[in-house]
Structures are given as C-alpha cells and as structure tokens.
A and B are shown apart, each in its own frame.
Chain A
Amino acid sequence: MPEETLIIKAGSKQTVWEDAPISRRIIVESGAKLLHYRLQEMPLTQTNNSETIIEVQENAVYESFILQTGAEKSFLKTVVNLVGEKASAFIGGIYLAAGKQKLRLETEVYHKAENTISEQQVRGVAADNAEGEFVGLIDVAGGVKAIIGNQMHKALMLSETAGVKCVPELAIASEDVKCTHGSSIGMLDENQLFYLQSRGIPLSQARFILTSAFLAEILNTITEENCLQNFRQKVETWLFVNMK
C-alpha cells in the first residue's frame, strides 16, 4: 500500500510529470485539475510493481497519460476513486513490449458519486516474444446515478510469438449508467500494408508507419504540448529500435 500522499489543493491546476513509477496516493481536491504524466522506462534488469491510488473530489478533473516501455517484468496499477459529484477521470495509456518483457497495465475506476465520468483509452504493442496485458475495471456503486464510463483497449502484435491479453471488467450495481467497453487485438492489417506498398513504400517502412499511426491516434489526445512531444519522441525511438 502506498504511504506517500500528494495533495492537489482545491481549485488549483497542476501538471505532474513522473520519470519513474512511484507508489503513492494522490488527492485531487474539489474543483482542482491534475494533469498527470507518467513514464515507466526502467532498465531491463529491473522489475516494477507499483500502484497509484487517486481520489478525485467534487468537480475535480484527473487527466493522465501513462507510457510503459521498461523493466523485464512490470505491473503498473492505477486506482481512481471518483468520490465527489461531477468528478471526472481520463486515463490514456500505451505499453510497448519487446524481447522477453512482460508488461501489465491495470486501471480500476470506482464511480462512488453521482454525475461522474470516466474514460480509459489504452493501446499496446507487443514485439518479439513479449507479453502485454491490460486489466481494466469500471465499478459503479449501487444507487449512484448519471454515470458515464468508457473503456477501450487495442493492441498490435508485431510477431507471431508475441502475446497480448485483455481482461475487461464491468461491475455495475446501479441502473442509471452509460458504460461501454471493448478490446481488439490483432496483427497489422494486410490491406493497409498493401495499400502503402502499392504507393512505393517498402514493407518495413509501411509496418513502421502503420504502427506509429496506431499509437499516434491516442498520443494525440494528450493536452499538454511539452509532454505530448516528449511521449511522441519516446514512442518513435522505441519503434526505431524495435522495428528494424
């Protein structure tokens, strides 16, 4: 259980950038907004097991993006509790796994108050013999009204030996709820590859372009410009290294 606690003061707006996973509690007080950007690019000699627990109070906004590419084995968990009315959370995430890495991204969102909104958008790429996994939960407490919760996971496997798992879970005890969830896992689309090749683009470059585009769609949801550039560059670098 995390011991450290970070408090985002009522009504304030803050951007927090994490270079490495930190297990801690975060409280986003009423009316505050937190932009939370997190990177997990630990060396392959290490393993990670971390958990962040966020409490989002009345009218507060929690907006987060996670990029996970490091560690031999990683288990990165995020728990969001929407405890005040009109609280909202957006969690975007990318995991990129290569070699023999086993990377797991887990997000749990608990809607504990009325009129709360959550969105989880995760994309993953697994190359070589790597394994990626997304575990996502939307939990709506009994009697809590006017809830919107969306969860989407998409993953690309770049080799026959890579693996991806998705465990989506909905636990809904209320009736006034609009929730969607979905997952799609597959290889690069052959029709798209041929379309690019038919324009003169070599196969290896076509694979690179399509994988990069797959991730660009979700990277483009990052609202903070510097963080966006930073993540974009790290993703491109990973693709260059792992898609020779």
Chain B
Amino acid sequence: MAWFKITNLDAGTGDKQILSDFNLEIKPGEVHAIMGPNGTGKSTLTNVICGNPKYTVSKGNIEFKDKDILSLPPEERAGMGIFLGFQNPIDIPGVSVMTFLKYATNAQRAFKGLEPLDAPSLLKKVKLRAQALGISDAMLKRYLNVGFSGGEKKRIETLQMTMLEPDFAILDEMDSGLDIDALKVVAEGVNVLKSPERSFLLITHYDRLLTYIEPDVVHIMVAGKIVRSGDKSLAKELEEKGYAELINA
C-alpha cells in the first residue's frame, strides 16, 4: 500500500471513457504538477479522486493513506484530508462564504472526533486567513461564489484550503483568471501550507505558476494518461516547444 497511488485506472462518464490505464504515485511532502491539452481529462481525474458520482471507474484503484478509497463517499475522502480546489467553483445561493466555511470546518473536525469550533475562534481564524488572501469582510458575507469574478472565486477556493489544512490538496487551474498579484498571493497560500506531511497536485496550463510553487515532478497528460514525467524543467521545455513536438520527441 502507499500514501497516494493510482493504479491502472479506467474512468469516464456515461459511455465516454476519459481516463485510460492511468497511473500516478505521490509521496508525502511532494508537489506534483500535471499539464496537458484541453479536454485531456485533467479535471475528470480530480473529480474521480474526490468521488464525484458523475464519473464511474471501470478498472483500477486509488489508495490514500494505505486505504482503498474508491468505495468511500466524497465527504469521507475529504475527511481523510483530500481537498479539491475546483477549476469552476460552484455557486451556492443562500449560503454565505462565512457560513459555508463554518459548515466545512466543523464537518472536517467531526471526522477527527473534534467538537465544532466556537464562533469567535472560527471568526478569528477566517479573518486572519482571508486577510492574507486579500479577501474583504464584505465578500465573506456574500452568497458563496454568486456573482464572484473568476479571480475572486479562486481566492475563495484558496481560503477554503487554508482553513481546512488538507493533507493532500489538488488544485485544478488555481492560476487561471488570476492577475499577477493575485497569483503571487494564492501561491503564497500554498507555500505556507507546504510541509513534509502535506502533498500537492497542481493542474495548470502555464509554467508561471510553477515558478512560484516549485514542483518536484511534472507530468504531461494526453488523451487520458500520463505520457511523460520529469522534473520542473519539463514545464519550461513544454512552454518552448508545445505539446506536439514534446510528445513526438
């Protein structure tokens, strides 16, 4: 068994197979990045890891902390410490950001056998982390993601991650839609969380993110599987050559 390992995974939605014979292993403390053309299955992979019922797995398995997680519902995977920063965060009308953070924080505490965090401590924790990410009090009172700009949504995803302090954070295009300053702020949010016990899987189209958050391994994914892996220089090489040349090389 392994800390995090995907073995020979086939997955898709409806009749459509999207991931085929997919393999990936991540060790505690590592930062991995996946790059790949649009529609190649990167977001599908993140959804399958987190247990989105829209996707079905027809072969293979996923282990996390020495446990087969494929049979677990999404909330239990989250309870084990997996976090997904969504490429397209979902609007939740009627629930403010603050209230949502309370639900999420206390749900995860329940998995650890902890009492709900009292309101003043929660508020303090949220404010501190929100401030670091340049999120205003006014935004915390708004309905989650409703009418938020692309960049604001990504900041709120990052805020959720820094609140929940997951052991394994999967960030799907955290950098898309962010201006340069916001990118630094969000990258800083990731960097402060880095530790020998915590791993990250970053999905990105741009080398820039990886200059702020240094990956240990970069994977190139095409048509539902990883076709090349290397160190961070692979991202640079990709930026220069593009997918076609790199894959045929």
Q: Indicate if B84 sits at the interface (CB-CB under 8 A).
A: yes
Contact indicator B78/A197 (Cβ below 8 Å): yes
Contact indicator B86/A195 (Cβ below 8 Å): yes
Residue of B nearest to A189 (CB): B90
Contact indicator B92/A200 (Cβ below 8 Å): no
Count chain A CB atoms within 10 A of each CB in B75, B79, B89, B104 and give the residue with the most. B75
CB-CB under 8 A for A217 and B93, given A201-B103, A202-B107: yes
Q: Indicate if A199 sits at the interface (CB-CB under 8 A).
A: yes
Taking CB atoms, residues of chain A closer than 8 Å to B86 are 195, 198
Taking CB atoms, residues of chain B closer than 8 Å to A195 are 86, 89-90, 92
Contact indicator B103/A199 (Cβ below 8 Å): yes
Instruction: Point out the residue from A192, A199, A203, A215 that lies within 8 Å of B104, measured CB to CB.
Output: A199
Contact indicator A194/B52 (Cβ below 8 Å): yes
Instruction: Point out the residue from B90, B95, B100 that lies within 8 Å of A191, measured CB to CB.
Output: B90
Q: Indicate if A173 sits at the interface (CB-CB under 8 A).
A: no
Q: Indicate if A190 sits at the interface (CB-CB under 8 A).
A: yes
Taking CB atoms, residues of chain A closer than 8 Å to B91 are 192
Taking CB atoms, residues of chain B closer than 8 Å to A194 are 50, 52-54, 74, 90
Count chain B CB atoms within 10 A of each CB in A192, A199, A209, A216 and give the residue with the most. A199
Least Cβ distance of A159 to chain B in Å? 18
Contact indicator A197/B75 (Cβ below 8 Å): yes
Taking CB atoms, residues of chain B closer than 8 Å to A199 are 75, 78, 100, 103-104, 107-108, 160, 164
Residue of B nearest to A190 (CB): B54
- A192-244 residues at the B interface, CB under 8 angstroms: 192, 194-203, 205-206, 209-210, 212-217
Contact indicator A197/B74 (Cβ below 8 Å): yes
CB-CB under 8 A for A192 and B92, given A197-B73, A199-B103, A205-B107: yes
Taking CB atoms, residues of chain A closer than 8 Å to B52 are 194, 198
Taking CB atoms, residues of chain A closer than 8 Å to B73 are 197, 202-203
Instruction: Point out the residue from A198, A206, A209, A216 that lies within 8 Å of B50, measured CB to CB.
Output: A198
Q: Indicate if B113 sits at the interface (CB-CB under 8 A).
A: no
Residue of B nearest to A197 (CB): B74
Least Cβ distance of A17 to chain B in Å? 25
Besides A198-B51, A198-B52, A199-B160, 16 more A-B contacts (Cβ < 8 Å) are: A191-B90, A194-B52, A196-B92, A198-B75, A198-B78, A198-B83, A199-B75, A200-B75, A200-B107, A200-B110, A201-B107, A202-B107, A210-B95, A213-B92, A214-B93, A217-B94
A-B CB proximity, top 6 nearest: A213-B94, A197-B74, A200-B78, A199-B104, A200-B107, A195-B90
Q: Residues of A at under 8 Å CB distance from B? A: 190-192, 194-203, 205-206, 209-210, 212-217
19 pairs from A and B in contact (CB 8 Å cutoff) = A190-B53, A190-B54, A194-B74, A196-B92, A196-B103, A197-B78, A198-B50, A198-B83, A198-B84, A199-B100, A200-B78, A201-B104, A201-B107, A202-B75, A206-B75, A210-B94, A210-B95, A213-B94, A217-B93
